[in-house]
Amino acid sequence: MTDRVPPTTEAGAPDLPDTHGTPAAPPGQGHATGADSTAAETDRGGALIELTDLRKIYQMGDQQVHALAGVNLELGRGEFWAIMGASGSGKSTMLNVLGCLDRPTSGRYRLEGQDVAELDDDALSEFRLRHLGFIFQSFNLIPQLTVRENIELPLFYLGWEADRSAAHAAKIAERVGLGDRIEHRPNELSGGQQQRVAVARSLANDPPVLLADEPTGNLDTATSGQIMALLKELNQQGKTIIMVTHERDIAAHAQHHMHMRDGIVDRIVRDA
Ligand SMILES: Nc1ncnc2c1ncn2[C@@H]1O[C@H](COP(=O)(O)OP(=O)(O)OP(=O)(O)O)[C@@H](O)[C@H]1O
Ligand SMILES: [Mg+2]
C-alpha cells in the first residue's frame, strides 16, 4: 500500500504568509479544547492508547479483506514501538487507524481517554491535529512551500497568528538541525534533510504521539541512522512514537516490538 497523505496537506498549498486575521486559538492557549479536557479527566492512570477487538474490513468487489482482524492492545505514554510484519500484514492500516486517518470498521479505539468513534469528522480532524504527528516514507512535503512554511502547516490549520507561527517554526527547524535551511524549498534539500522537515512539521503543535510509516525507507544507511537518532531523542524527551518498519536494524532503535500477521498482532516483544 502507498502512504496516506495526512489531512493537513490534502488541501494543497494554502496562502501561509497572510494569516494575520482572527486566530482560531489565542496565543498561549493553543491546546485548550473541550476534547482535551475531557480526555484529561477520563485518562488518569489509563493507557495512552487502548485498542479493543479493533477491526478494519475493506470491501473489494464481492471480497472482504480483513486488514485488521481483531486487535487488542494497550500502549503506554512515552513508549517507542516498532510495528513489524510481512507485506500486507496490516501495518499501514494499523498506523492509519491509530492516526485517525481511517476509521475502524468495528471495535474500540481510545486515545488519551477519548473514544475516537464518538467524534464526528470535524472533531476528529481537530483531535488529530492536536494529538498526532505524522512522518511518512516519502516525506509528503509541499514542494511550493519553504521549509518554514511546511513546518507551519499544522499551526496554520490551528489558526496560529503568522508571526508567532513563523518564530515557532524557526525554533523547531533549529531543533532538527535545519536552522540554516529555513527559506529553502524541499527540492533544494537532501532526502535526510527533507525527512527532518517532516519530523519538524510533525512536532509543530507538540502532539504527544508521533506516527511514522517506514520513515527511513527512502534514505541511505547513514542518513537513516541520523533520523533514528532524532526520533530516539524525541522519545527520550517524552514523545510516544509508533513506527512501522521492515528493517530489523531500524526496529532495533525502538523499545518494544509488535509483530503483525494477517491483520492480528501475532507477537509482542517488550524491551526488545
Ligand atoms: N484501501 C484499501 N482497499 C482494499 N484493501 C486494502 C486497502 N488498504 C489495504 N488493503 C489491504 O489490507 C491488507 C493490509 O494492508 P496494509 O497496507 O495495512 O499492509 P502493510 O503491512 O502495511 O504492507 P506493506 O508492508 O506492503 O506496506 C492488504 O491485504 C491490503 O491489500
Ligand atoms: Mg505499509
Q: What is the CATH number of the domain that holds 143?
A: 3.40.50.300
**Is the C-beta atom of 190 inside 6 A of ligand 1?**
no
**What is the span of the domain harbouring residue 126?**
45-269
Burial letters 126-142, b for 16+ CB under 10 A, else e: bbbbbbbbbbbbbbbbb
In a domain, 115, yes or no: yes
Residue 93 lies in a domain: yes
Beta carbon of 92 within 6 Å of any ligand 1 atom: yes
Ligand 1 centroid from CA 226, angstroms: 29
Ligand (nearest to CA of 136): 2
Please report whether residue 73 resides in a domain.
yes
Number of structural domains in the chain: 1
Ligand 1 close to Cβ of residue 67 (< 6 A): yes
Find, among 130, 122, 123, the residue nearest to 31 by Cα: 130
| Domain annotation covers residue 263 | yes
Q: Find the largest Cα–Cα distance for the chain.
A: 54
**pTM (2 decimals)?**
0.84
- Whether residue 204 lies inside any domain: the answer is yes
Name the residue among 135, 102, 128, 153 with its Cα closest to residue 39: 128
**156 domain residue, yes or no:** yes
Residue 165 sits at φ, ψ, to 5 deg, of: -65, -45
Is 10 contained in some domain?
Answer: no
Give the Å distance between the CA of 1 and the centre of ligand 1: 5
**Whole-angstrom Cα distance, residue 257 to residue 249?**
12
Handedness of CA 200, 206, 207, 209 (dihedral sign): positive
Q: Indicate whether 197 belongs to any domain.
A: yes
247 lines ligand 1 (CB under 6 A): no
Judge if the beta carbon of residue 2 lies within 6 A of ligand 1.
no
pLDDT tens digits in sequence order for the chain, 272 residues long:
444 444 444 434 444 444 333 333 333 333 333 344 444 444 445 699 999 999 999 999 999 999 999 999 999 999 999 999 999 999 999 999 999 999 999 999 999 999 999 999 999 999 999 999 999 999 999 999 999 999 999 999 999 999 999 999 999 999 999 999 999 999 999 999 999 999 999 999 999 999 999 999 999 999 999 999 999 999 999 999 999 999 999 999 999 999 999 999 999 999 98
